[in-house]
């Protein structure tokens, strides 16, 4: 189905998947509503969408704050009476500590953004979601929600919770025509690892050493594909990994200099 003139709302659109998705949807003729905390970066993404001919609007959004989400939703209702596609993308990992050494502040940030944030935004936007065939909610999960790894107890936990929320929401919205989907990527290049390791770029780049990871554009293209399926088709759950990542614990790495 066409995305032309549809309103696409993307949370966490200031970098990575969200920013690439905004541009990809703009190229498909859609209009954009973008939210994130770094408003200067967000506005640059919105401008790139406008340069492609889209109507694109940006507003500060902290999904960890109920008040911020309410303000964001009320601002949206002044731009458009309806949203066709909601992409719950805001989130990420903080730290790679074991449970024994984990920090409250990291745990809280992960639960707030990936889990409670997704719930808050969905609750606030549901009244604006067009109740006609073909509207979609796409939640960004992760292969971390399928298989846990050491140091990932909380991140894996919240991405696993994302799958449960997606499944419950699909049941709750049955009959409305709204599709509810989860896109669950593996290793992908973005600011994810830099955020996880708190700006330690050496540690962050080591994650991708010798590997060809997914790009944010790969994820963006997949999101556009999911949202543009015919209205009777719901991509319930889509796992996408780099070819080099046979499983979360098995990543092929080319020898340095090889
Ligand atoms: P980035 O760090 O590049 O992007 C994360 C985005 O989320 C940023 O735009 C950031 O914006 C936003 N964000 C984080 N916290 C909040 C918040 N409290 N309120 C509003 N926005 C927030 O990483 P990715 O693009 O990789 O991450 C996007 C999603 O994909 C995340 O949910 C992540 O967990 C998931 N994912 C990533 C994978 C990867 O390997 N890269 C694999 C699987 C899933 P700002 O800081 O400006 O608020
Ligand atoms: C990001 C992928 O494997 O680093 O969700 O957790 S992983």
Query: Is 99 a domain residue?
Result: yes
Q: Which positions are catalytic?
A: 155
Q: How far is the CA of 206 from the centre of ligand 2 (A)?
A: 14
Q: How far is the CA of 196 from the centre of ligand 2 (A)?
A: 10
Q: What is the pLDDT of residue 131?
A: 78
Instruction: Find the domain containing 64 and state its range.
Output: 7-251
Q: Tell me which residue has its CA closest to atom 6 in ligand 2.
A: 144
Q: Which atom of ligand 2 is nearest to the CA of 155?
A: 6
Query: Is 1 a domain residue?
Result: no
Q: Which atom of ligand 2 is nearest to the CA of 156?
A: 6
Q: Tell me which residue has its CA closest to atom 25 in ligand 1.
A: 16
Query: Is 257 a domain residue?
Result: no
Query: Is 256 a domain residue?
Result: no
Domain count across the chain: 1
What predicted TM-score, i.e. pTM, was given to this entire model? Answer: 0.98
pLDDT in tens, 7-57: 999 999 999 999 999 999 999 999 999 999 999 999 999 999 999 999 999
Query: Is 258 a domain residue?
Result: no
Sequence-distant (6+) residues with CB within 8 A of 40 are none
Among 143, 205, 218, say which to mutate for ligand 2: greatest number of ligand atoms within 8 Å of CB: 143
The verdict on the CB of residue 113 being under 6 Å from ligand 1 is yes
Residues 233, 72, 189, CA angle at the centre, nearest 5°? 60
Q: What is the side-by-side strand order in the sheet with 85-88?
A: 56-60, 31-36, 7-11, 85-88, 136-140, 179-185, 237-240
Q: What is the pLDDT of residue 64?
A: 98
Rounded Cα distance between 68 and 77, Å, is: 14
Q: What is the pLDDT of residue 256?
A: 79
Give counts: helices (H), strands (E), the chain.
9, 9
Q: How far is the CA of 253 from the centre of ligand 1 (A)?
A: 25
Query: Is 103 a domain residue?
Result: yes
For the chain, what is the mean pLDDT? Answer: 97
Q: What is the pLDDT of residue 258?
A: 57
Q: What is the pLDDT of residue 132?
A: 73
User: What's the CATH code of the domain at 14?
Assistant: 3.40.50.720
Q: Which atom of ligand 1 is nearest to the CA of 68?
A: 19
Ligand nearest to the CA of 12: 1
The verdict on the CB of residue 63 being under 6 Å from ligand 1 is yes
Within the chain, which residues score under 70 in pLDDT?
Answer: 258
Sequence-distant (6+) residues with CB within 8 A of 233 are none
């Amino acid at each position: 189905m066409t995305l032309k003139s549809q309103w696409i709302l993307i949370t966490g659109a200031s970098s990575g998947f969200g920013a690439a998705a905004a541009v990809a949807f703009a190229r498909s003729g859609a209009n954009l509503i973008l939210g994130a905390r770094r408003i200067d970066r967000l506005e640059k993404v919105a401008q790139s969408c406008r340069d492609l001919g889209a109507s694109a609007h940006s507003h500060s959004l902290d999904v960890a704050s109920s008040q911020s989400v309410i303000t964001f939703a009320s601002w949206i209702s002044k731009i458009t009476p309806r949203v066709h596609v909601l992409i719950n993308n805001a989130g990420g990992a903080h730290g790679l500590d074991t449970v024994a050494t984990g920090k409250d502040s990291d745990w809280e940030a992960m639960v707030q953004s990936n889990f409670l944030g997704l719930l808050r935004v969905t609750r606030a936007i549901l009244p604006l979601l067009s109740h006609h065939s073909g509207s979609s909610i796409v939640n960004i999960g992760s292969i971390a929600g399928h298989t846990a790894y050491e140091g990932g107890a909380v991140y894996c936990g919240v991405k696993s919770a994302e799958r449960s929320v997606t499944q419950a929401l699909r049941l709750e919205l049955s009959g409305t025509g709204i599709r509810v989907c989860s896109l669950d990527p593996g290793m992908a290049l973005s600011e994810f690892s830099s955020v996880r390791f708190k700006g330690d770029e050496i540690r962050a780049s080591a994650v991708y050493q010798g590997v060809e990871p997914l790009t944010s554009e790969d994820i963006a293209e997949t999101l556009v594909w999911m949202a543009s399926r015919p209205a009777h088709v719901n991509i319930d759950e889509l796992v996408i990994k780099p070819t080099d990542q046979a499983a979360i614990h098995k990543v092929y790495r080319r020898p340095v200099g090889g």
